[in-house]
């Protein structure tokens, strides 16, 4: 089966970059990315790629090379489905905010809408690929909808979860650790569908990195990968608290354990807590799945990863309050960083949001600086929590366009994102401008403790005891 035309439904953080890279590596395939969000599609089509909706290093260059050649962005979803041999579903699968499974289960309404639209429009056999992260066994629901509402055409369902991380998406896609394809190898048609998708990736990914499994293993592997990664962060964060109590240093502990080849050195940075759109959502989804099978111990085990993460964020803000003589009411506190990690403007589930909210509850005056996040986004994140009126958020928190504006006259600085530029600041100058004693709470452990203490700061580093 030779694929000549691909459609991807969903032009977000995953659908966009993934299809851009497929278009680059497969010039013989026409790739059309569609979305219901007209503004997002307009941005993907923006002149000279000036306003792409997603900031990722290296992305704009590839869009310039491929757009209009074999890569197209459109809101004409029916046409793109009709023309495609293979359709990727890459829409959002957020945590449910209503009804059964509220706050835990994945909301699959957007997935179902896609399946129904594909069924309605398709006049020829198609391969449907799950790119979104989905609960295990979702493929059977999609197949059911397609088979019962379609026009009698044959659909093959594949699972092909995405493992890219934001900030390194292009490199992750060009050189993936592995590509995972789940399909039904028990039938000839299923085998052909798997081969068709393998052939696409084989244009640039070495064969030994393309794994094929059954559909359920593939769906579950994606949730498992995110659960393991998040668990590593919660594990090192749990140890960071013990370090602070005992005088150990989490960086030294991370290095010591990371040199064990069975543990490995990556993903062992203690922090103010993990954020991002997926870790919490996917673990809660896993917890919900386990509970729905009556596996309560399994559910409790994984839920602890999220609870530990909440604890880490809360204890960071508690420490600020306790250290500032048990009150931050009316005190100016500078927050450096709002994004959930460096090199992205994404703030979804960022630890900064929780820390800020806790400090606002204590009536602190917050001054926030982030090199990439907009003022609108920061207020939107706080307003979304619904803990106070939008005008109160605006009164209590100012968004600053320079770090110095945030720092001048502050009682304390909290570092919440590990932006490289923070390391290069003139900390001596900053010290001069602050109230004394001048406190720094380094939630990313990026600054040099002894240098800052020599300047005169009272310096607290996550995971480092005195
Ligand atoms: P996103 O919100 O950035 O993008 C999803 C897009 O789908 C939106 O633009 C939305 O308008 C569109 N959409 C929703 N319903 C639609 C419909 N019926 N028809 C057409 N378009 C529709 O989400 P994302 O971050 O790209 O995540 C998508 C999926 O990929 C999720 O399941 C997520 O868990 C998974 N994932 C995300 C990442 C990541 O780094 N963000 C990484 C791996 C996997
Ligand atoms: C993560 C996974 O790394 C991807 O493989 C996955 O595809 C993606 O989720 C997804 O499914 O959405 P992402 O959330 O973009 O990618 O970024 P990460 O680099 O994993 O960081 C997640 C959070 O953990 C960040 O807040 C980061 O600061 C934090 N983190 C990470 C730490 O606190 N310490 C570490 O050592 C590593």
278 given a catalytic annotation:
yes
Over residues 278-282, the mean pLDDT reads 96
Q: Is the pLDDT of residue 466 over 80?
A: no
Say how far apart CA 356 and CA 370 lie, in whole Å.
13
**18 with 91: CB under 8 angstroms?**
no
pLDDT at 192: 97
CA 91 / ligand 1 centre spacing (Å): 4
Which atom number of ligand 2 is nearest to the Cα of residue 266? Answer: 36
pLDDT at 48: 87
CA 129 / ligand 2 centre spacing (Å): 24
**Whole-number CA gyration radius for the chain:** 24
Residues with CB under 6 A from ligand 2: 133, 162-166, 226, 229, 233, 267-269, 271, 274-279, 340-341
Give the ligand at the shortest distance from the Cα of 443.
Answer: 2
**Interval 24-58: pLDDT, tens:** 999 999 999 999 999 999 999 998 888 899 889 99
**35 with 41: CB under 8 angstroms?**
yes
CA 110 / ligand 1 centre spacing (Å): 9
Quote the pTM value: 0.96
Give the number of other Cβ atoms within 10 Å of residue 75's Cβ. 15
Q: Which residues pair with 360 in a beta bridge?
A: none
Which atom number of ligand 2 is nearest to the Cα of residue 342? Answer: 28
- Look at ligand 1, atom 3, and give the residue with the nearest C-alpha: 12
**Interval 391-405: pLDDT, tens:** 999 999 999 999 999
Give the number of other Cβ atoms within 10 Å of residue 4's Cβ. 11
CA 222 / ligand 1 centre spacing (Å): 15
CA 105 / ligand 2 centre spacing (Å): 20
Over residues 219-247, the mean pLDDT reads 97
Long-range contacts of 21-26 (CB under 8 A, 24+ apart): 21/62, 21/170, 21/173, 21/174, 22/200, 23/62, 23/66, 23/69, 23/70, 23/71, 24/62, 24/65, 24/66, 25/174, 25/203, 25/204, 26/70, 26/200, 26/203
Burial class of residue 170 (count of CB atoms within 10 Å of its CB; 0-12, 13-18, 19+): buried
pLDDT at 45: 97
pLDDT at 37: 98
Task: Indicate which residue of 8, 26, 243, 278 is catalytic.
Answer: 278
CA 276 / ligand 2 centre spacing (Å): 7
Going by C-alpha positions, the residue among 229, 407, 372 that lies closest to residue 305 is 229
Which atom number of ligand 1 is nearest to the Cα of residue 134? Answer: 32
Give the ligand at the shortest distance from the Cα of 9.
Answer: 1
How long, in residues, is the chain? 466
Beta-sheet strands, E only, within 29-177: 30-34, 71-74, 86-89, 126-130, 155-159
**56 with 345: CB under 8 angstroms?**
no
- Look at ligand 2, atom 24, and give the residue with the nearest C-alpha: 274
Q: Which residues pair with 211 in a beta bridge?
A: 180
Over residues 242-257, the mean pLDDT reads 97
Say how far apart CA 399 and CA 409 lie, in whole Å.
15
Over residues 76-88, the mean pLDDT reads 98
Percent share of the chain, pLDDT over 90:
95
Q: Is the CB of 249 under 6 A from ligand 1?
A: no
Which atom number of ligand 1 is nearest to the Cα of residue 40? Answer: 9
Q: Is the CB of 157 under 6 A from ligand 1?
A: no
Within 324-416, residue ranges assigned H as helices are 351-361, 375-385, 390-396, 403-407
Predicted confidence band of residue 191 (pLDDT cuts 50, 70, 90): very high
**329 with 362: CB under 8 angstroms?**
yes
Q: Is the pLDDT of residue 345 over 90?
A: no
Instruction: Measure Cα distances from 320 to 39, 89, 250, 329, 431 in Å.
Output: 41, 44, 19, 12, 18
Q: Is the pLDDT of residue 465 over 90?
A: no
Beta strands 5-9 and 86-89, pairing class: parallel
pLDDT at 97: 93
Residue in this structure with the two tokens 């599609």, named with its chain if needed: 41
Q: Among 143-147, 179-183, 279-283, which is the least confidently predicted range?
A: 143-147
SS3 letters across 353-370? HHHHHHHHHCCCEEEEEC
**Interval 1-22: pLDDT, tens:** 789 999 999 999 999 999 999 9
Measured between alpha carbons, how far apart are the two ends of the chain, in Å? 64
Helix, strand, coil content of the chain in percent (nearest 5): 45, 15, 40
Q: Is the CB of 113 under 6 A from ligand 1?
A: yes
Q: Is the pLDDT of residue 61 over 80?
A: yes
Predicted confidence band of residue 252 (pLDDT cuts 50, 70, 90): very high
**358 with 311: CB under 8 angstroms?**
no
Q: Is the CB of 132 under 6 A from ligand 1?
A: yes
> ∠ at Cα 130 (128, 131), nearest 5°?
125
The mean pLDDT of the chain is: 96
pLDDT at 49: 84
Mutate to test the pocket of ligand 1, among 7, 13, 227 (most ligand atoms within 8 A of CB): 13
Percent share of the chain, pLDDT over 70:
100
Q: Is the CB of 353 under 6 A from ligand 1?
A: no
Q: Cα 416 to the chain's mean position, in Å?
A: 16
Q: Cα 304 to the chain's mean position, in Å?
A: 20
The two tokens of residue 371 are: 């090199």
């Amino acid at each position: 089966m030779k694929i000549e035309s691909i459609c991807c439904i969903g032009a977000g953080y995953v659908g966009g970059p993934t299809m851009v890279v497929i278009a680059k590596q497969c010039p013989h395939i026409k790739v059309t990315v569609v979305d219901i969000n007209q503004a997002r599609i307009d941005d993907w089509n923006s002149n000279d790629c000036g306003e792409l909706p997603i900031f990722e290093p290296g992305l704009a260059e590839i869009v310039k090379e491929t757009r209009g050649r074999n890569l197209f962005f459109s809101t004409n979803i029916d046409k793109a489905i009709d023309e495609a041999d293979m359709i990727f579903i890459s829409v959002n699968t957020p945590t449910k905010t209503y009804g059964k499974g509220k706050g835990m289960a994945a909301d699959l309404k957007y997935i179902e809408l896609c399946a129904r639209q594909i069924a309605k429009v398709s006049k020829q056999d198609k391969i449907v690929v799950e790119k979104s992260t989905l609960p295990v066994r979702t493929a059977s629901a999609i197949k059911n909808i397609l088979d019962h509402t379609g026009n009698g055409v044959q659909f093959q369902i594949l699972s092909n979860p995405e493992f890219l991380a934001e900030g390194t998406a292009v490199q992750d896609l060009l050189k993936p650790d592995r590509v995972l394809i789940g399909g039904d190898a028990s039938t000839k048609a299923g085998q052909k569908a798997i081969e068709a998708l393998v052939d696409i990736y084989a244009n640039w990914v070495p064969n030994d990195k393309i794994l094929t499994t059954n559909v359920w293993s593939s769906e579950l592997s994606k949730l498992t990968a995110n659960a393991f990664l998040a668990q590593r962060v919660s594990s090192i964060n749990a140890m960071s608290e013990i370090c602070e109590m005992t005088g150990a240093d989490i960086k030294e502990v991370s290095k010591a354990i990371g040199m064990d080849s069975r543990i490995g050195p990556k993903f062992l940075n203690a922090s103010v807590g993990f954020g991002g759109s997926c870790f919490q959502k996917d673990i809660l989804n896993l917890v919900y799945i386990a509970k729905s099978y009556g596996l309560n111990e399994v559910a409790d085990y994984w839920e602890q990863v999220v609870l530990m993460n909440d604890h880490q964020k809360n204890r960071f803000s508690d420490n600020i309050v306790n250290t500032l003589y048990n009150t931050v009411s009316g005190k100016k506190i500078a927050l450096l960083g709002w994004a959930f990690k460096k090199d992205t403007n994404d703030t979804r589930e960022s630890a900064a949001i929780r820390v800020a909210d806790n400090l606002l509850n204590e009536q602190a005056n917050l001054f926030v600086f982030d090199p990439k996040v907009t003022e609108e986004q920061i207020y939107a994140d706080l307003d979304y929590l619904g803990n106070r009126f939008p005008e109160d958020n605006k009164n209590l928190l100012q968004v600053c366009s320079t770090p110095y504006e945030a720092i001048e006259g502050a009682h304390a600085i909290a570092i919440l994102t590990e932006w490289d530029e923070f390391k290069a600041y003139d900390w001596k100058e900053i010290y001069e401008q602050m109230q004394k004693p001048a406190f720094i709470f380094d939630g990313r452990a990026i600054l040099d403790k002894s240098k800052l203490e020599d300047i005169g700061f009272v310096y607290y580093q996550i995971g480092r005891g005195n």
